Amino acid sequence: MTTHAHPLLRPAGQPARVANVELFFDLVYVFAITQLSHHLLEHLTWLGVLQTATLWFAVWLGWQYTAWVSNWFNPEHLVIRTMLMVLMGVALLVSAAIPDAFGERGLLFACSFAAIQVGRTLFVLYSLGRGHALTPNFVRILCWLLVSAALWIAGGLNDSSTRLLLWLLAVGCEYLSPMAGFPVPGLGRSHTSDWTIDGGHLAERCQLFVIIALGESVLATGASFGHASHPGPAVWIAFLVSFVGCVAMWWMYFDTSSTDAAHVIEHSDDPGRLGAYFHYVHVLLIAGVIVCAVADDLVVAHPLDPVKAKYAAVLAGGPLVYLLGNALFKRVVYRRFPLSHAIGIAALLALWPLLPRVNLLVAGTLTTTVLVLVTVWAAYYRRRGNGVAHAHTSG
């Protein structure tokens, strides 16, 4: 499907660049990631994990849908810039409500998030008008978002257990509907071939969010070290281990697939489908970074404490989720699940039951070692394969 010229859309034929206002907009998500990691740290139970995951999906969905809109619309235009500022302000309310989202601030979280999703879509439809090629797609999106908004708000009005159930349904509604093309009776469904996106812009936006998440790992490590009154050798080693783990995660993502991702989307026959895959796998990848930030906080703050079962889940689970997300991302880019990541995942699964026998420092060192070895393995085979031309045989 093609789109005719529109004053608010990005100029046709020109590569879409990430604008400064988009970087400014992302600042609110720095706060959101910090809130999520602290929420998980304070609720290290299976219920707490499920609640934090639900909140994370909501945060990601709000950012994700906006990223697609800014891929089509020109963020340098005053109208679109104003829209992003308004969304940023409401997203700040969403982020502020995260610590007590399953308590007294549930309705604030739900109403603010619903306002972002529905309000942005209504604005787009008003701006496009009836005759534009993108309009049917956004009409279908609006129908699904109205259903999910009702679920979000109903959850905010109920107690925590019912709230979790309704919010899980809302997440499923918003996260799964794009896979089916937002089907609506009488309006049909959208096709990914209709989603005329700029691959370079979308890939770069995802990369920037990965940087935001890694920043939380740096912040957690630095803050925990700074709070130590008289850091001894164990704290210094824990600081180094946590920092090396963060570097390994950055290297694993940005040394290979992040650069090739834009090229793959831009040269795809169906860039919309690949763009959707990117968003689906990044929600998992970034979740792994968030859990790793919690692990860093624990290791640096209490390096010599014994590893409880819930700590073992964080220490092994964070790197495991990150490796899985990164592997799926490379599967999309290179069409092959990397062997290095598969072995790394197996190693973490093997280590998991052994971690409660050691202290947090030893456990953090072991899981970080797995990340480093996977990173080195993948980087070695990438250079031996000499780039994209041999990426299908890389580790």
Q: What is the pLDDT of residues 355-390, one digit of tens each?
A: 999 999 999 999 999 999 999 998 887 767 644 444
| Interatomic CA distance for residues 105 and 368, integer angstroms | 36
For the ranges 70-84, 103-117, 123-137, the maximum mean pLDDT occurs at: 103-117
Angle between helix axes 20-42 and 199-227 (nearest 10 degrees) is 50
Question: In sequence order, what are the beta bridge partners of 184?
Answer: 188
| Chain mean pLDDT for the chain | 89
Q: Quickly tell me which residue has 């469904």 as its tokens.
A: 189
Nearest to 199 by CA among 135, 254, 270, 136: 270
Which residues of the chain form CATH 1.20.1410?
Answer: 199-393
Q: Cα(119)–Cα(384) distance, rounded to whole angstroms?
A: 50
According to the model, what pLDDT value does residue 278 have?
80
Question: Can you tell me the distance from the alpha carbon of 348 to that of 314, in angstroms, rounded to the nearest whole number?
Answer: 11
Residue positions counted in the chain = 395
309 burial via Cβ count (<10 Å: 0-12, 13-18, 19+)? exposed
Query: What pLDDT, on the 0 to 100 scale, is given for residue 199?
Result: 72
The structure's pTM equals 0.90
| Across 24-28, 246-250, 299-303, 335-339, least confident range | 335-339
Coil, strand or helix at 379: helix
Residues in a beta bridge with 156: none
Q: Which DSSP helix (H) or strand (E) runs through 175?
A: helix 160-176
Q: Are 121 and 61 in contact (CB under 8 A)?
A: no
Fold annotation for 199-393: I/LWEQ domain (1.20.1410)
pLDDT beyond 50 at 340 = yes
What does the pLDDT read at residue 164? 97
Residue 326 has pLDDT above 80, yes or no: yes
Q: pLDDT confidence of 231, banded at 50, 70, 90? A: confident
Question: φ and ψ at 188, to 5 degrees?
Answer: 75, -155
Q: What's the confidence (pLDDT) of residue 395? A: 53
Predicted pLDDT of residue 59: 96
Q: Which residues pair with 249 in a beta bridge?
A: none
* CA distances in angstroms from 326 to 142, 174, 211, 375, 387, listed in the order given: 31, 23, 14, 11, 18
| Lookup result for tokens 């992040």 | 258
Percent of residues, the chain, with pLDDT higher than 70: 92
Angle CA 222–225–226, to nearest 5: 80
What is the arithmetic mean of pLDDT over 92-121? 96
Point out the least confidently predicted range of 35-49, 64-78, 138-152, 311-325.
64-78
With the C-alpha atoms ordered 231, 235, 237, 241, is the resulting torsion angle positive or negative?
negative
**Residues contacting residue 11 through CB under 8 Å, at least 6 positions apart:** 74
Kindly tell me if the per-residue pLDDT of 334 is higher than 60: yes
| CA distance linking residue 301 with residue 163, whole number of Å | 33
Contact by Cβ (8 Å): 85, 75: no
For residue 260, count CB atoms less than 10 angstroms from its CB and return exposed for 0-12, middle for 13-18, buried for 19 or more. Answer: middle
| Inter-residue contact 80 to 8 (CB < 8 Å) | yes
- Fill in the amino acid letter for 375: T
Higher pLDDT, 269 or 208: 208
pLDDT number for residue 387: 47
d(Cα 208, Cα 18) in Å, to the nearest integer?
10
What is the distance between the alpha carbons of residues 244 and 236, in angstroms, rounded to a whole number?
A: 12
Which of 378, 349, 61, 392 is closest to 250 using CA atoms? Answer: 378
- CA distance linking residue 314 with residue 307, whole number of Å: 10
If phi over 0 gives left and psi between -120 and 50 gives alpha, with beta otherwise, what is residue 64? alpha
pLDDT of residue 394: 43
The Cβ of residue 367 has, within 10 Å, a number of other Cβ atoms equal to: 28
CA–CA gap between residue 384 and residue 259 (Å, rounded): 17
- Calculate mean pLDDT across residues 232-261: 89
